[in-house]
């Protein structure tokens, strides 16, 4: 007998999958950041699913909640991994997590403010999209709030086209620059240069993509830095869906796909060898599938 198909997910069931009961005690700033990251996740996922509908696809995000156990043996928070595989988005992952506890061993000494006291709380959103059409650029975005003996925001967004288009690159940077300039005119040149330096593959001597912004250890005035971090999320949500819609119907050839897969190999090399977020997730007992969702579904090495 063929087993009955599971009942469809209702909006209430989906909402429950996207909410993780917390076993951490958060203060007002940490909780405000958590709420924002989760709300940004909801809006981004809705925007990406709308693009799939425009392409005639019924693809939707699947959400998997996970729990983290701190090395001390106590509950250490957790998160929700959301993944969609569709007609436009070959593979896109949007993760939110709120974790805390103590850093193990020497790793804590590498984290801002944790050298003498290994206790921490971290909350954030991380997104990577790999696209079916090689003319549509892949993208990475994350923002986070960390508390050790210090408190700071970090994150950014960067565009990663296998087949770069100057107009798309210019639009992406213009929106990010506008978000930066509204808060501090020094932000964009500084954070753009930081992205160019960070998203570089030394053993290939090439950049991972066409850049964006990257910032870290943004501490001091919580309200101002939180407002800037929200502006980065809003800028991403503004510009990236527009670029996807602009390119998602472009014709492509087998040669274009081959170039996309070679480029994805370099993307994987960066994320596995150099990316600090990958290392942080692995060193703090994060969910392996959520950490490695940044890897492309198909890649090639010649």
SS in 3 state form for 80-105? EEEEECCCCEEEEEEEEEEEEEECCH
Contact, 245 vs 47, CB < 8 A?
no
Q: Is the per-residue pLDDT at 174 higher than 70?
A: yes
Tell me if 160 sits within 8 A of 240, measured CB to CB.
no
pLDDT exceeds cutoff 60 at 10: no
Q: How confident is the model at residue 3 (pLDDT cuts 50, 70, 90)?
A: very low
Measured distance CA(235)–CA(233) in Å, rounded = 5
- Determine the average pLDDT of the residues in 8-25: 54
Residue 201 dihedral angles phi and psi, to the nearest 5°: -105, 95
Please give the Cα distance from 90 to 257 (Å, whole number).
13
* C-beta neighbour count of 267 within 10 angstroms: 23
pLDDT for position 74 = 84
Q: What is the domain partition of the chain in residue ranges?
A: 25-294
Computed on alpha carbons and rounded to an integer, the radius of gyration of the chain in Å comes to 19
Cβ atoms of 20 and 78 within 8 Å: the answer is yes
Q: Model confidence at 120, in pLDDT bands (50, 70, 90)?
A: very high
Q: Which residue has the tokens 């997730």?
A: 281
Q: Closest Cα to residue 110, out of 148, 166, 77, 55?
A: 148
Candidate CATH numbers 3.40.190.10, 3.50.50.60, 3.40.1500.10, 3.40.50.300; the one for domain 25-294: 3.40.1500.10
Write down the pLDDT at residue 22.
60
Which of 87-91, 175-179, 281-285 is predicted with the least confidence, judged by mean pLDDT? 281-285
**Which residues form the catalytic set?**
140
- Which of 199, 175, 180 lies closest to 273, judged by CA? 199
What Cα–Cα distance (Å) separates residue 122 from each residue in 2, 180, 250, 277? Answer: 45, 23, 40, 12
What per-residue confidence (pLDDT) applies to 14? 52
Distance CA 230, CA 224 (A): 10
Q: How high is the pLDDT of residue 2?
A: 46
pLDDT at site 20: 55
The 10s digit of each residue's pLDDT in 37-86 is 999 999 999 999 999 999 999 999 999 999 988 887 888 999 999 999 99
Q: How far apart are the first and last CA of the chain?
A: 47
Instruction: State pTM to two decimals.
Output: 0.90
């Amino acid at each position: 007998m063929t087993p009955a198909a599971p009942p469809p997910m209702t909006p209430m069931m989906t909402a429950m999958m996207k909410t993780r009961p917390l076993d951490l005690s958060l203060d007002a700033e940490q909780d405000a950041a958590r709420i924002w990251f989760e709300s940004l996740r909801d809006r981004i996922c809705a925007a990406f699913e709308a693009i799939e509908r425009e392409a005639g696809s019924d693809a939707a995000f699947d959400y998997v909640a996970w729990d983290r156990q701190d090395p001390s043996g106590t509950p250490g928070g957790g998160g929700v991994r959301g993944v969609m595989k569709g007609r436009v988005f070959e593979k896109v992952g949007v993760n939110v997590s709120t974790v805390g506890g103590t850093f193990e061993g020497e790793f804590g000494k590498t984290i801002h403010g944790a050298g003498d006291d290994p206790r921490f709380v971290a909350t954030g959103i991380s997104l990577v999209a790999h696209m079916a059409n090689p003319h549509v650029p892949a993208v990475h975005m994350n923002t986070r709030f960390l508390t050790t003996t210090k408190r700071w925001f970090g994150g950014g967004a960067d565009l990663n086209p296998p087949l770069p288009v100057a107009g798309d690159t210019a639009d992406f940077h213009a929106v990010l620059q506008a978000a930066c300039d509204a808060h501090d005119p020094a932000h964009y040149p500084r954070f753009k240069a930081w992205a160019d330096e960070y998203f570089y593959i030394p053993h290939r001597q090439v950049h991972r993509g066409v850049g964006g912004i990257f910032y870290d250890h943004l501490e001091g005035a919580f309200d101002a830095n939180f407002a800037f971090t929200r502006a980065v999320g809003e800028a991403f949500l503004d510009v990236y869906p527009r670029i996807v819609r602009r390119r998602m119907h472009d014709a492509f050839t087998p040669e274009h796909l081959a170039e996309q897969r070679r480029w994805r190999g370099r993307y994987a090399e960066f994320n596995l060898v150099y990316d600090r977020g990958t290392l942080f997730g692995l060193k703090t007992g994060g969910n392996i599938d959520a950490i490695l969702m940044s890897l492309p579904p198909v890649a090639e090495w010649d």
